[in-house]
């Protein structure tokens, strides 16, 4: 036997496997997954599906894999330095998993030429190589949804036009988040605390596509060159109705209302008895200081773009610890009174920012903020009498 011919045959075979040319019947589609129950699933997901029955190929590529168990994951996430990566799975495994999670699955078959399909498939395979998989994640500008759009724009080398759908109403980034995470959830309160006024800007039509559902909406209307981007679409699985699992008693608004009422109740008692509950003041001032420091660090000590210009600092003032230290003394300095007046002024400034739309804050915090205002006014009155100013 001539081993040279055998070697050449095997080399060509391996090359064919590696290049894996798609057949003329191959389809590439974008699959949109609906929201899930947990916070990290609340925004949905997008997947490229490569279907080629002639080559017994049906796989999904997605850009939503993250190294949850990796050392330093939470620190990297907080600093805005988290790397996500592209993943590959059998499509049926993807479909079965999301059906098991009871999440809607919608598919849009892309209207591509054979050359464009092959180019996208080759790009995804190359991107899946270990040395190419990772990318720097950004929730609004570089995530599992925007990657779908960007890959198509890069690989097809044609302009993709995304007309605004009928009845399209531009929204701010924050209101888009609230479509998926209602305000009376702890996740929403956390988002409103961490993200600054920059997300209260109106998002452009393309910027809406950081959410997977808007990938589906805009792709339906999009054109690639002179043709429609999507040739057909269908619902693979429709989410089944389930009972709401929200525990109202532990919702943020109820919890902050209870805390606010406790603060107001203690303040009223202090006013009647002409005394001051030092423990309450220490807890309030230290707590707001710590929250303020966290907001300040997210603003200046991380690479996140969306944590900048965060006016939660107007109620969670980082220097409140100084006031806590001073009023803990038997005879505080007289400057505690102008300090407290300053806290009242910046609380009023916060409400002004909220009213004119500079930044929208967490509505669940309203009872707490009102209680803080009443406590500060009481303390101004108390120290005016105590210090004879």
Contact 108, 220 (CB under 8 A): yes
- Whether 95 shows a pLDDT value over 70: the answer reads yes
- Six token digits for residue 132: 């190419």
- Whether 152 shows a pLDDT value over 80: the answer reads yes
Q: CA 189 to CA 195: how far, in whole Å?
A: 10
pLDDT in tens, 247-285: 778 899 999 999 999 999 999 999 999 999 999 999 999
Interval 344-363 mean pLDDT: 96
Strand partners, 216: none
pLDDT band at 76 (very low <50, low <70, confident <90, very high): low
Starting at the earlier edge strand, list the strands of the sheet with 160-161. Answer: 160-161, 223-224, 227-228
| Chain-centre distance for alpha carbon 71 | 22
CA dihedral 193, 199, 200, 202 (to 10 degrees): -160
Strand partners, 39: none
- Whether 19 shows a pLDDT value over 90: the answer reads no
| Chain-centre distance for alpha carbon 53 | 37
Q: Report DSSP state, residue 227.
A: E
Least confident of 55-59, 300-304, 311-315, 342-346: 300-304
What pLDDT, on a 0 to 100 scale, did the predictor assign at position 4?
A: 46
Contact 289, 321 (CB under 8 A): yes
Q: CA 296 to CA 113: how far, in whole Å?
A: 51
Interval 225-253 mean pLDDT: 88
pLDDT band at 12 (very low <50, low <70, confident <90, very high): very low
Cα angle, residue 117 at apex, residues 62 and 84 outer, rounded to 5°: 20
CATH topology classification for 3-168+205-237? endopeptidase fold (from Nostoc punctiforme) (3.90.1720)
State the chain's mean pLDDT as an integer: 90
Q: CA 344 to CA 372: how far, in whole Å?
A: 9
pLDDT band at 5 (very low <50, low <70, confident <90, very high): very low
What pLDDT, on a 0 to 100 scale, did the predictor assign at position 42?
A: 92
If one compares 283 and 304, the residue with the highest pLDDT of the two is: 283
What pLDDT, on a 0 to 100 scale, did the predictor assign at position 11?
A: 41
Q: CA 366 to CA 170: how far, in whole Å?
A: 27
If one compares 10 and 23, the residue with the highest pLDDT of the two is: 23
pLDDT band at 79 (very low <50, low <70, confident <90, very high): low
Interval 192-207 mean pLDDT: 94
Least confident of 206-215, 222-231, 239-248, 270-279: 239-248
Share of the chain above pLDDT 90, in %: 78
Query: Which residues, 6+ apart, have CB-to-CB distance to 377 below 8 Å?
Result: 344
- Whether 72 shows a pLDDT value over 60: the answer reads no
What pLDDT, on a 0 to 100 scale, did the predictor assign at position 339?
A: 98
Interval 196-223 mean pLDDT: 95
pTM: 0.86
CB atoms within 10 A of CB 360: 17
Q: CA 276 to CA 273: how far, in whole Å?
A: 9
Share of the chain above pLDDT 70, in %: 90
- Whether 9 shows a pLDDT value over 70: the answer reads no
Starting at the earlier edge strand, list the strands of the sheet with 105-110. Answer: 134-136, 83-90, 57-65, 45-52, 27-33, 105-110, 230-237
| Chain-centre distance for alpha carbon 150 | 19
CB atoms within 10 A of CB 296: 16
- Per domain, the residue ranges of the chain are 3-168+205-237, 248-386
If one compares 283 and 4, the residue with the highest pLDDT of the two is: 283
- Six token digits for residue 363: 């509505």
10 Å CB burial of residue 237 (0-12, 13-18, 19+) is middle
Q: CA 161 to CA 226: how far, in whole Å?
A: 10
Q: CA 86 to CA 154: how far, in whole Å?
A: 16
3-state helix, strand, coil in the chain (%, to 5): 55, 15, 30
pLDDT band at 1 (very low <50, low <70, confident <90, very high): very low
CB atoms within 10 A of CB 365: 20
What pLDDT, on a 0 to 100 scale, did the predictor assign at position 68?
A: 59
């Amino acid at each position: 036997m001539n081993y040279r011919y055998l070697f050449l045959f095997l080399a060509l075979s391996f090359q064919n496997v590696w290049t894996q040319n798609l057949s003329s019947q191959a389809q590439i589609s974008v699959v949109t997954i609906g929201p899930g129950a947990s916070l990290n699933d609340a925004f949905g997901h997008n997947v490229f599906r490569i279907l080629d029955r002639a080559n017994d190929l049906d796989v999904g590529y997605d850009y939503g894999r993250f190294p949850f168990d990796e050392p330093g994951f939470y620190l990297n996430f907080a600093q805005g330095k988290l790397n996500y990566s592209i993943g590959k799975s059998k499509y049926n495994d993807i479909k079965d998993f999301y059906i098991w999670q009871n999440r809607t699955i919608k598919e849009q078959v892309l209207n591509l030429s054979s050359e464009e399909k092959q180019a996208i498939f080759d790009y995804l395979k190359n991107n899946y190589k270990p040395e190419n998989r990772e990318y720097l994640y950004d929730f609004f500008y570089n995530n599992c949804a925007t990657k779908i759009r960007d890959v198509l724009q890069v690989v097809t080398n044609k302009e993709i036009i995304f007309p605004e759908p009928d009845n399209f109403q531009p929204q701010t980034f924050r209101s888009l988040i609230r479509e998926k995470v209602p305000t009376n959830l702890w996740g929403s309160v956390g988002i409103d605390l961490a993200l600054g006024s920059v997300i209260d800007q109106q998002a452009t039509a393309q910027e809406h596509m950081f959410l997977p559902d808007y990938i589906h909406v805009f792709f339906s209307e999009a054109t690639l060159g002179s043709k429609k981007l999507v040739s057909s679409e269908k619902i693979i699985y429709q989410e089944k109705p389930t009972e709401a699992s929200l525990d109202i008693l532990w919702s943020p608004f109820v919890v902050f209302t209870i805390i606010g009422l406790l603060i107001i109740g203690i303040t009223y008692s202090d006013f009647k008895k002409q005394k001051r509950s030092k423990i309450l003041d220490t807890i309030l001032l230290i707590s707001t200081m710590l929250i303020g420091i966290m907001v300040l660090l997210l603003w200046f000590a991380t690479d996140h773009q969306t944590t900048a210009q965060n006016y939660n600092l107007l109620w969670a003032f980082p220097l409140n610890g100084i006031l806590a230290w001073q009023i803990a003394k038997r005879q505080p300095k007289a400057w505690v009174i102008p300090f407290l007046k300053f806290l009242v002024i910046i609380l009023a400034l916060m409400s002004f920012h909220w009213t004119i739309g500079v930044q929208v804050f967490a509505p669940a915090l309203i009872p707490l903020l009102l209680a803080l205002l009443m406590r500060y006014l009481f303390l101004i009155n108390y120290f005016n009498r105590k210090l004879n100013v």
